[in-house]
A and B are shown apart, each in its own frame.
Chain A
Amino acid sequence: MNEITDLSLKALSEGLQAKTFSSVEITDAFLKRIGALNAKTNAFITVTEEAARAHAVDADARHAKGQAGPLTGVPIAHKDLFCTEGVLTSCGSKMLANFIAPYDAHVVTQCKTAGLVTLGKLNMDEFAMGSSNENSVFGPVHNPWDLSRVPGGSSGGSAAAVAASMTPLATATDTGGSIRQPAALTGTSGLKPTYGRVSRYGMVAFASSLDQGGLIAQTAEDIALGLGVIAGHDVRDSTSANVPVDDYAQELEKPLTGMTIGLPEAFFDERLNASMGQRVDAVIEAFQALGVQFKTVQLPHVAEAIPAYYVIAPAEASSNLSRYDGVRFGHRADNPTDLMDLYERSRSEGFGSEVKRRILIGTYALSEGYFDAYYKKAQQIRRLIRDDYTQAFTECDLLLSPTTPSTAFPIGEKSTDPVAMYLEDIYTVATNLAGLPGGSFQAGLIDGLPAGYQLTGPAFSEGRILNAAHQLQQATDWHQARPEGLTHV
């Protein structure tokens, strides 16, 4: 057993303060595990070994001088769409396979300032489009629980790396479920904060009114520690919320007595499969034992979230991805005959098929004569969905549902059927449309594979979500299950 890599972020932080081990020792232990497991999981695109050791030496110096913060010297890895100065930031795409970012994303700067040690960059679906991490030019990520299955996506590398104890904490992003769905499929905890809670500066854009950066870790407590570092107002992102950041770690300890959690009826209909329903029932019972009340609530328009999402997200993507023209950065076709040829071939060669599909759908939805029927209609439905949530939160503190319809599916099963893949997001996309925070946490296993439950809250209620999940993790052991095949290295 490799003791250090089994520890939670919290335990690593405490061990560093108590000088039980140094940051260099921790960093070496994780680098060793990455070296042993990356060929199997393909979770990392880039491992920044030398820089990590140098950061660890600096962190140990800060500890020696008494200038360390709670997370100084603790490792983290970043999804490969957060710009990291001087380091490849590929977005899982051939388009950016040569892109050495010229600056750091806000989230990366915040982590560096806090003294976190960056281990490297994590695999993902190309441009964060996908629910299986099969759409990466660097190859699919394999789920540590069963290497023949997907880890979910688009933050599949982040989730797999945490599940395999290759890093205690990973950044991730969520446009329609890309943090919560992979967290559920890998038995990890993941939080998508409120839209605007975490700056998008330096985060490669997919759908700007939906994208939000967040974290994946083993526990809600670890996410609370990390969120305190990355959350906050940033003038470089004009949609960043100028709202004070709560003390998430302090909120964790509140008892749940008196809390009411709503169960959206639309998420508990006949389409919910029996084994997933049983896991959610077990979660509900465990919450009841902590004094939580449950009630059924209505989200009347939530069934239209998937169609509205698959207009808004591709429309915004088609606009955002128009910047990849072969001129300023990214892939450029060889020997173009004219400017149109340069654009068309650079883009056709640089983008994978799912990205092309979404650009085409988005371009169509925004084209002359179709705007009202698609984009405007989707934005109207978006308001109805947002209002449904506002109404539901007058009756309860949080909402609970499964995170995904089923557990991790085999690699290749859905890769040729885009619509089947889109339905993976059935429980998660409405949260993004409404701009609300949502987390996925461990709900036990079904036939040896992890299941997750989702908590959604009102805007800026990250502390309440993490509080509820943490209290449940104190009372249950579902979050302690680890993929057996990879325990010993």
Chain B
Amino acid sequence: MSLSGDDLARVAKLARLGLTTEEKEATATQLNGILALIDRMQAVDTDSVEPLAHPLELTQVLRADEVTEHNQRDHYQRVAPHAQDGLYLVPRVVE
């Protein structure tokens, strides 16, 4: 499979990445090189093979339903680029 200019624009939008016109061309060539490498997978017969998501196949452990985390909003918001009165500031969304 290879990636057209339109595909790249669609994927970049999904990924919320803006690419300049020069970047688009170089990126498409590089991504197609990577996809050619990846496509070697298609030669492997994987019929009836279960996908493996976790190498040791451990299952999620449930903890006791107790409060372990305390509210540290102010501490964590100190690294926010724009926060005010405990809120993160973003451009206006609703007019």
A residues in contact (CB < 8 Å) with B: 98-100, 102, 194-196, 209, 235, 238-239, 241-242, 301, 304, 306-308, 310-311, 318, 322, 325-332, 336-345, 347-348, 351, 356-357, 359-361, 363-365, 367, 370, 373-374, 376-384, 386, 418-419, 422, 433-436, 459
A332–B81 CB distance below 8 A: yes
A100–B34 CB distance below 8 A: no
Interface string of B32-50 (1 = CB under 8 A from A): 0111111111101010011
Q: A301 vs B44: C-alpha distance in the bound complex, in angstroms?
A: 8
B residues in contact (CB < 8 Å) with A: 1, 3, 7-8, 10-12, 14-19, 27, 30-31, 33-42, 44, 46, 49-56, 58, 60-61, 63, 72, 75-76, 78-82, 88, 90-93
Q: A98 vs B78: C-alpha distance in the bound complex, in angstroms?
A: 11
Instruction: Known contacts A310-B34, A310-B38, A318-B15; decide if A360 and B27 are in contact (CB<8 Å).
Output: yes
Q: Which A residue sits closest to B55, measured CB to CB? A: A435
Minimal beta-carbon separation of A151 from chain B (angstroms):
24
A306–B37 CB distance below 8 A: yes
Q: Which A residue sits closest to B41, measured CB to CB? A: A307
A381–B38 CB distance below 8 A: no
Minimal beta-carbon separation of B93 from chain A (angstroms):
6
Chain A residues closer than 8 Å to B51, beta-carbon distance: 376, 379-380, 382-383
Q: Which of A343, A422, A459 contacts B56 (CB 8 A)?
A: A459
Other than the given A363-B15, A364-B3, A459-B56, 19 more pairs (CB < 8 A) read: A99-B79, A102-B76, A195-B55, A196-B56, A239-B54, A301-B44, A310-B34, A322-B16, A326-B81, A339-B91, A340-B16, A342-B90, A344-B18, A348-B18, A360-B31, A384-B46, A418-B34, A419-B34, A436-B55
A378–B41 CB distance below 8 A: yes
* Cβ contacts A to B, 26 pairs, < 8 Å: A100-B78, A241-B58, A304-B40, A304-B41, A306-B37, A327-B80, A328-B88, A329-B79, A329-B80, A332-B81, A336-B91, A341-B91, A347-B15, A356-B27, A360-B11, A360-B17, A363-B11, A364-B7, A364-B11, A364-B31, A376-B51, A378-B41, A379-B51, A380-B46, A380-B49, A384-B46
B41–A381 CB distance below 8 A: yes
Minimal beta-carbon separation of A208 from chain B (angstroms):
10
Q: A365 vs B3: C-alpha distance in the bound complex, in angstroms?
A: 11
Q: Which B residue sits closest to A359, measured CB to CB? A: B15
Chain B residues closer than 8 Å to A357, beta-carbon distance: 27, 30-31, 34
Minimal beta-carbon separation of A404 from chain B (angstroms):
18
A304–B76 CB distance below 8 A: no
Chain B residues closer than 8 Å to A367, beta-carbon distance: 10-11, 14
Q: A23 vs B88: C-alpha distance in the bound complex, in angstroms?
A: 44
Chain A residues closer than 8 Å to B38, beta-carbon distance: 307, 310-311, 361, 365, 374
Query: What 3 A-B pairs are tightest by C-beta distance, nearest first?
Result: A435-B55, A379-B51, A332-B81
B17–A419 CB distance below 8 A: no
Q: Which of B16, B19, B46, B56 contacts A377 (CB 8 A)?
A: B46
Chain A residues closer than 8 Å to B44, beta-carbon distance: 301, 304, 377, 380-381, 384
A332–B82 CB distance below 8 A: yes
Minimal beta-carbon separation of A39 from chain B (angstroms):
29
B17–A356 CB distance below 8 A: yes
Which of B1, B27, B30, B92: most chain A Cβ within 10 A?
B30
Instruction: Known contacts A304-B44, A382-B52, A383-B52; decide if A339 and B90 are in contact (CB<8 Å).
Output: yes
B88–A379 CB distance below 8 A: no
A419–B33 CB distance below 8 A: yes
Minimal beta-carbon separation of A135 from chain B (angstroms):
14
Minimal beta-carbon separation of B10 from chain A (angstroms):
8
Q: A336 vs B8: C-alpha distance in the bound complex, in angstroms?
A: 24
Q: Which A residue sits closest to B77, measured CB to CB? A: A328
B78–A102 CB distance below 8 A: yes
Chain A residues closer than 8 Å to B40, beta-carbon distance: 304, 307
Q: A379 vs B49: C-alpha distance in the bound complex, in angstroms?
A: 9
A360–B50 CB distance below 8 A: no
Minimal beta-carbon separation of A378 from chain B (angstroms):
6
Chain B residues closer than 8 Å to A365, beta-carbon distance: 38
